[in-house]
Structure 1
């Protein structure tokens, strides 16, 4: 049923009920008022008749009584009239003049009110008295037909008015219903339009009534909804953009990130986490899958407070991987459930880098220690070697003393070589490289080392054709081969075979063993033995400095460390594989290079200045170590020089200021507590000293920046100082002055 029909029927029913109530109430009111009027009329008529008929009754005037009765009956609405008298009980009006005969038979009972009339005649009676004595009575019957007719006419008029009113109300209701339903229909259509997506739809306002105000409110609501929706769309776009950036960021992380519930079921996972979990042995890593971590219980990973951190090691394709895991509780207020974010990192390369850094720091520390020790040892060896050489030059030296002195000299030389090896190992000494043909170089080196290899050991050499040359310092490469060959020989106490092989190794992208090296061809040198092998627990330490498995006195622990340092310093790589009881293989990879002629670098520029005059030359010797100073004084005297000594740089400056003209050259140590040798050079140049200046040091040249003095000094001498080297360095002073030729 439509709203319009409901409105019309509702109003019609209510109006009909109200009209019926009105008609009934009106009819009751009309009836009551008519009845009262009739009763009043009856009383008034009786009173008038009584006044007119009393005298006739008292005078017993029958004619007059009959005429009164007749006149009364002729009155409209009077049905009968009767006058009785007690003075003459036989006196009665005639039937003709008393009205309708059927109402004159017998005595009629007076009606108390009109409402109780049941025969259509209202009976009224009044007694006449005289001197408190009833002398007669008057009876009157008044017809109620007229009253009924009036009442019916009134009811008809009321009914007609009600019908007209109901029709008008129905018509108004119809019009109102059409208006309301039309406006509501417009609102309904607008609401559907808004629901279909046109959030800003507006409805035309055609009036100022409540419906119009409702439409205006609807229009205002639609505008606000449209504005809110646009803001929501903008917020949603921003959220989606942020979510996409966040998803992209999380997806691009090298760290694996996953969200787990308290049963270790996956709720979120990024690609890196999928890869890590698969490597950790999980077969399913989809949303909802339960994951496991090797060697970890659920209670260790799922913690309710703080941060849980672990390291797990697994093997993938025979390659060990180390994973670092962290787990933390993430409160989920929406679902009131516990969730845990687990971050996984493959720290395999990091651990390797940390180990390499630790090794580098260890090497740096050892190198610094070695450099300091080498400086002091070189000073000591300068004294030992200097006095030994002076002793050997002495005349009449007993043979046994000469033999002992030669042994001391040889041991000093060996000590100096050991110091060089220590510095080589610590990578403190840079040496010039040259291009070396391994096919020629290896057999020559093996031949040189032949005496150090027992005859019970067979050395085999295998060279592939087309093996490229390598760029290496020849002396250092010889040390590398000597260390590897003699180590292999030590692993064969009962004899065996040592194989030296060279070939080209092509490294592909993602090579599991050599992946860190550049892709391309590398020269591979392998030294293999079938000896006792290296225990697996020691193989990671064999390149550590001072680590050795040989008995005391048989090894220094620097051989393989030196190999490692030299190869790495030449951009190569060393690897070792060993099985106890089977043998050991050392592999060295060299960057290949073309075979071209090697051009040695230029020597340090030497400044030649003219000597002061013919005859013995005077050297200003500057050295802060007294024993070294004394030894060098003796050596210089043995070479024919006069010596003026200074214990530090300041003293040397004073000598030049006082006796500068007498000094033909300066030989100064570099590292001194007061005014270093390099600073002394600057001071002497400022003083205008233009004679040769020579520097010496127990440190190696690469540790002292000599480039700044290359044009200011005549030469550099490395300690320990040999007599012949000193003589060669000072040869510029032994030559004759060109001006004298």
Structure 2
């Protein structure tokens, strides 16, 4: 080749080399520029990015990886700084197997993967996109991720809220269904009406009861007044109650409908703003409750009567002693009278007769007080002089207490009256005296005192009473007293420290109940070895007690009755039949006496109407006195009747009432009292 051609070729080669260098320089500049751009994007991108490279480790082939590249956002999203060069099993050993399994699958298959997973070490939830870096021999995987912890929390909270709402809705619907079932299948009558008194709702029980009572079944939309037009009495009772509820009132009433008692709970139906939109009623059939209340009342009455009878048992021994003494005086006086008659010492008969009569009257009074005390009776409060009552009942109290016990009573001269039931107070005092006696087995003293006391608010508040004037009646003993624990329970029903069979434990509780019903209070003061004092505070009454009417035994009624009036006498006791008959004949009456009701009725059928039927109530066989009187009045409707009985008058009456032209005289009676009562009846003055 010519030299000139070689030179040209060399120059061309040099030119091409220079050109190549320029191109390489430009390429490097472009590459550096692109790399700078990529590095800038890599370092400033919001998502975390890293490249991991797998290697064989102690746990097996490709069982670990190292971070060969990571951008600045890695630490922001993953929460782990300076991750380049760190090995997985050194960073998060507890989680390593899970991450190796995830990225290992991408390395083996070359398939990209998207998933969300919590990085437990930092508590971050990451949304990850990962793919293999080619060629596969490099064992590298690229990971692009973002922290979605807050989004996951929000989604979880939203999911929980949705679940909760669904549960609440389901619960509300179930509750609504349950309430609907309960209301519709319950035994309560439920009515709801609007302002025009048209039904908005009515449950099954209400429909049934309404049909039973009124013969028709209301439906939603029907008018309540229209349904009650055929029942004006109940319409006039019910509609005003509904009008009160529609006016916004909430209240409870009781009433009887179709002979069944109901408790009515009325209330207004209001909207969210409180405006009345209607009214509703819950009506409860209280038949069983009324029956139970009656059973409880009967049981309480039975308990009261049992307590009375226990007291009567306490009385019996002492009364037998006193009664035998009285009978002994009567019998002995009669024996002496017979001797004086035989001796014709007539002047000596008068004092013996007086003694016999007084003993008989005392015995009669004792029996009547015992009957009045023991009988069942309705409370009948009246103005009472407590001092007089206590004085009159000492004949009942003294036989009960031991001879070793002294009974004393003291009252202020101007003791105020109180408004109580006298037999109940007698029962209370007798029980207090029995308790005092049992607390003093070796003897002692019982003091009954009464005074007036005015309590202001400060004094009355500890006693649980209003301020005012009270009669304070106290029963104090010198017995062994009570501990604080026993005293605290002393008025509890059935509480007793006495041995079995010695008491019911009802005495103090019934006394407390009686005093509280009378508007007063019971106060118990006691300590061991210091005795016991029970104070009864009874409200002052401003009306004076009525003075007892005392018969005048000297007054005779012989001249006040015309002679010839006919009396039919029915008395099974021969002695009394003889005495009563003779006494009436001496007064000028014609007396036809019979031993039993059958004989008297047989006589009535064949004689003219008598002026009076005088009959004992407690005839032993056949008809009793009430039945005799009823049958005699079937024959003679205007026949006047006087019953005589050995029972207390209230007990003889029972639950009945005296008919016009009828009266009762209790045995034993004085002849002048019999004459007066017969005279009043025959003169049309019914006693």
TM score, norm. by length of structure 2: 0.40
Q: Which has the higher contact order (CA 8 A, sep 6+)?
A: 1
Bigger radius of gyration among the two: 1
